[in-house]
Structure 1
Amino acid sequence: MIDTTFRYCPTCATPLVERVIDMAPRQVCPQCQFVHYLDPKVVVIVVIHHDGKLLLGKRNHDPGKGLWSFFGGYVDRGEPVEEAAAREVREETGLTVQIGPLIGIYSSRGDPNVLIVYQADLLTAPEETTLLPPSEEISELALFPLAELPTLAFSIDARILRDWRERNCL
């Protein structure tokens, strides 16, 4: 069964029907043959390490409201992923970062999100975070020693953290 969020052809407004195209069930227009592909969403995540600590944000919305997480969000169509990563950090924290090496790319069966995870260096002093009002997405910022990390919001965060530690020999 496929997602039937879209019921009508965006080209000719004919009701879509389900057919197997490219070995998968897809919504197809029987009139103009338009095929609706459910493409994945690209998400960027940023791990910020500063003076032996990780900068994390307390989530201000679900999923994971009230839990700590890395910073990130969706990439806009046509936006370079590195620019999206820096933009998301700036939107959520007000801080400026230099995007560094890729930590990894993560996906799982049934999840439409593909995560592209980078590490980054702060270009704005973290002491300035006390002057920042909470954003819609983040209610609090904090630097945590690596040995005292809080419970993270998402199960994938543990894998990201492990991969980041391995990459940096920590």
Structure 2
Amino acid sequence: MPNLSEIKYCPVCATLLIEKELFNARRLACENCGFIFFLNPKVVVVVVIQRNGRFLLGKRNIDPGKGKWGFTGGYVDQNESVEEAALREVKEETNLDIQLEGLIGVYSQHGSPHIIIAYQGRILDNNIQNLTPQVEEVSELGFFAPDTLPDLAFPSNRSILRDLLRRNPRS
């Protein structure tokens, strides 16, 4: 995600942008056409899938967190609901069809450009033989018991898991 120092020209009229105090923050604006550049957060959806008390995780094949594990998820696309994105991301990464079982929580951190929306998911088709990653971003998939989790890629994964286990101690 770009920061303000990397943005130079107006995407509407190509005039050099200037920094101004607008709406209680420093923002880039175009004096020619009035465009204001809002550096908005990215929305990420995460799905926690359990089977027989074990969590489905994917080993990341890209940075950040390459070589570490995480829940299935990714960015929400424009014109897509977060629920649609959750189903799409699981299908893209695992080729599994799931049903969303409920919201775990919404997570954000000061200084981070991401808002994370976490759901519980249930596998609809119990045939999980040949469970293999479907995208380059994930090198392998596996189910892990809560007490044998591998190194997780993001602090938010631990927060999501903590909140899920607090609400559902039998998970």
TM-score higher than 0.5: yes
Report the secondary structure of 1:165's partner residue.
helix
Percent identity between matched residues is: 51
1:86 is matched with: 87
Report the secondary structure of 2:58's partner residue.
strand
Q: CA deviation at 1:103?
A: 0.5
TM-score by length of 1: 0.92
Measure the CA separation in 1 of the matches of 2:5 and 2:126. 47
Q: CA deviation at 1:17?
A: 0.2
1:165 is matched with: 165
| RMSD between aligned residues | 1.5
| Superposition misfits of 4+ residues, deviation over 3 angstroms | 131-134
CA contact (8 A) 2:92 2:134 kept: no
Measure the CA separation in 2 of the matches of 1:131 and 1:25. 48
Number of residue pairs the alignment of both structures matches:
168
One-letter amino acid of the structure 2 residue matched with residue 39 of structure 1: N
1:145 aligns with 2:145: yes
CA deviations on 1:45-64 (whole Å, 9 max, x unpaired) are 11001111111111111111
Residue pairs, 1:1-170, within 5 angstroms: 3-125=4-126, 127-128=128-129, 130=130, 132=132, 135-170=135-170
Report the secondary structure of 2:103's partner residue.
strand
Measure the CA separation in 2 of the matches of 1:111 and 1:117. 16
CA deviations on 1:93-121 (whole Å, 9 max, x unpaired) are 11111112110101111111100000100
One-letter amino acid of the structure 2 residue matched with residue 13 of structure 1: A
Unaligned 5+ runs, structure 1: none
One-letter amino acid of the structure 1 residue matched with residue 99 of structure 2: Q
CA deviations on 1:68-96 (whole Å, 9 max, x unpaired) are 11011000011010110110011111111
CA contact (8 A) 2:106 2:116 kept: yes
Report the secondary structure of 2:117's partner residue.
strand
CA contact (8 A) 1:67 1:153 kept: yes
One-letter amino acid of the structure 1 residue matched with residue 48 of structure 2: V
Measure the CA separation in 2 of the matches of 1:8 and 1:160. 39
CA contact (8 A) 2:133 2:141 kept: no
TM-score by length of 2: 0.92
Unaligned 5+ runs, structure 2: none
One-letter amino acid of the structure 2 residue matched with residue 132 of structure 1: T
Q: CA deviation at 1:145?
A: 1.6
Report the secondary structure of 2:166's partner residue.
helix
Q: CA deviation at 1:5?
A: 2.8
Q: CA deviation at 1:132?
A: 3.2
